[in-house]
Structure 1
Amino acid sequence: MAILNDKVALVTGGANGIGRAVVEKFLAEGARVAVLDRDVDRAQALAAELGADVHVTIGSVENFADDQRAVAEAVESFGKLDIFVGNAGVGAGNLLLSEIPADQLEAAIDEIYAINVKGYLLGARAAAPALLRTNGNMVFSCSLASYRAVDDGALYVSTKHADLGIVRGLAWEFAPKVRVNGVAIGVARTRMEGLAALGQQPIDAVLPGAESVIPLGFIPEPSDYAAGFAYLASAEARVVTGECLWADSGFGIRGIGSPAGSAMRETKGRQ
């Protein structure tokens, strides 16, 4: 049975990567989906491909007027809003803080926080009145970097730690009417947008050799994460709020000498 039947969702950054996978999964589970995205070509292609159950708003999450317009258009198109997915985000090209040129540092910090943190807060504030009317919920794209100091650099890691704080803070604020959760995404075979302030182009989110350090031994596709969003957005998770679903392929239980115990046993068995 479709777990999101008759639900209406708004997904930010829904035209590509994890966001697009979430849009497709929500549709498969019976929802109608509005998308806020700044990439005009990809957003329009998404709407043309997926049909009448998708409505696209072109805009930027760090602009509150765009967030409000996306909510208004979702409600106008589909009659209500049940689910807000805060997903739009950027990286900093895996640069360390000390590697960012001093004359570009402030602009880089302002940009990544505007999208990854401010964008989540503005989107939540814009969606809240509609969600309170439907006793809806919010789901945010968090990260392994919401808990660990990974090699994406301090700018990105600090924004994802902040996103976990948003999940917890808003879950308290909106209880008992609106549930708020996140998905702690690990490695995904997708492209990470960079910072305009640093002239960065999108880069592969998967570093070379990643399979060898992932306990489950494979690189997930964006679609591998979408079910977690659908679960948290559904009545199946009606007792879950203020939590982040770990979906990190086992990074949280990595060993020091070997990523997975079975790999060590197989090695010993061959000796």
Structure 2
Amino acid sequence: MTGWLDGRRALVVGAGSGIGRAVVDAFLSEGARVAVLERDEAKCAKLSAAIPGLPVVAGDATTRGANEAAVDATVAAYGGLDVLVSCVGIFDFYQGIAELPVERIDEAFDEMFRVNVKSHLHSVKAALPQLRRHGGSVILTESTSAYYPGRGGVLYVGSKFAVRGLVTAMAHELAPDVRVNGVAPGGTLNTDLRGLDSLGLREKRLDDTPGREAELAGRVPLRVALSGADHAWSYVFLASNRARGITGDVVHPDGGIGVKA
């Protein structure tokens, strides 16, 4: 039996935990050869210990150098690159414009958009020559927050709308050589999504919210609290040849929030 991703060479950015880590496991299970870029060195060490032989690059995805090093490592290990996945992100814990301190706006805006938007630009730019050469695929992580109100603060929602724009703009620009799509997960269990340093939220984890599983299940029609492992299969589909006619689109693994009464 063959896997959906047999022969595909993938780079997963932000692969140390949560959805990114689940994507690594799902891609490997479907026959892909995977390399990763992850900022947290402790998470890099855990990845290397858990998956011997996995090319792991420790670096900041918001920088050109780290992305170029990760692409180079992928090509050195596997001879090319077919699929780029980015799961990088930070959160603002629902801070609206009314409560956002005016003296923090500049710094918080720069941090949010550097991580949640600019990182994608650097990743795609670094991978683009390889993706064009091999007829590749890009999958960026959007969020249900960019489609339905109340699922993030003003900066987070704004940044995820920007990712929607990146998917649309790059899908148009890079066709027919490269497909570009998004996955917009709903609320996710077992994530290490953290807050902005500039707002004093760096040590706050969304997954530490009391009663989170019940809250997530209670707000969607399917009454499910989804994990990174659930979301990962949307990435597998979009990376596979079964999605060869899809670009500029998005998959919504969100428990059906769009049909909520």
TM-score range (shorter-chain normalised) is: over 0.9
Deviation, structure 1 residue 220: 0.7
**Aligned residue for 1:102?**
102
Per-residue CA deviation, residues 44-76 of structure 1 (Å, 9 max, x unaligned), is 111210122x21111111111111111111111
| Equivalent residues in 2 for 1:59-208, closer than 5 Å | 59-189=59-189, 190-200=191-201, 201-205=203-207, 207=212
| Equivalent residues in 2 for 1:18-97, closer than 5 Å | 18-52=19-53, 54-97=54-97
Q: Distance in 1 between matches of 2:90 and 2:197?
A: 10
Q: Distance in 2 between matches of 1:57 and 1:227?
A: 24
Q: Secondary structure at the match of 1:36?
A: strand
Q: Distance in 2 between matches of 1:170 and 1:26?
A: 23
Amino acid at match of 2:39: R
RMSD: 1.3
Query: Are the counterparts in 1 of residues 11 and 37 from structure 2 also a CA contact under 8 Å?
Result: yes
Deviation, structure 1 residue 152: 1.1
Query: Are the counterparts in 1 of residues 194 and 206 from structure 2 also a CA contact under 8 Å?
Result: no
Q: Secondary structure at the match of 1:209?
A: helix
Amino acid at match of 2:197: A
Q: Which has the larger radius of gyration?
A: 1
1:241 correspondence with 2:242: no
Deviation, structure 1 residue 147: 1.7
Identity score, percent: 36
Q: Secondary structure at the match of 1:191?
A: coil
* Structure 1, unaligned runs of 5 or more: 256-271
Q: Secondary structure at the match of 1:163?
A: helix
Q: Distance in 1 between matches of 2:150 and 2:180?
A: 25
Per-residue CA deviation, residues 171-193 of structure 1 (Å, 9 max, x unaligned), is 11110011111111111102312
Amino acid at match of 2:222: L
Q: Distance in 1 between matches of 2:38 and 2:96?
A: 28
Q: Secondary structure at the match of 1:98?
A: coil
Q: Secondary structure at the match of 2:169?
A: helix
Amino acid at match of 2:204: P
Q: Distance in 1 between matches of 2:87 and 2:194?
A: 13
233, 236, 261: which one aligns with 1:230: 236
* Structure 2, unaligned runs of 5 or more: none
Q: Distance in 1 between matches of 2:106 and 2:14?
A: 24
Q: Distance in 2 between matches of 1:229 and 1:202?
A: 27
Deviation, structure 1 residue 247: 1.2
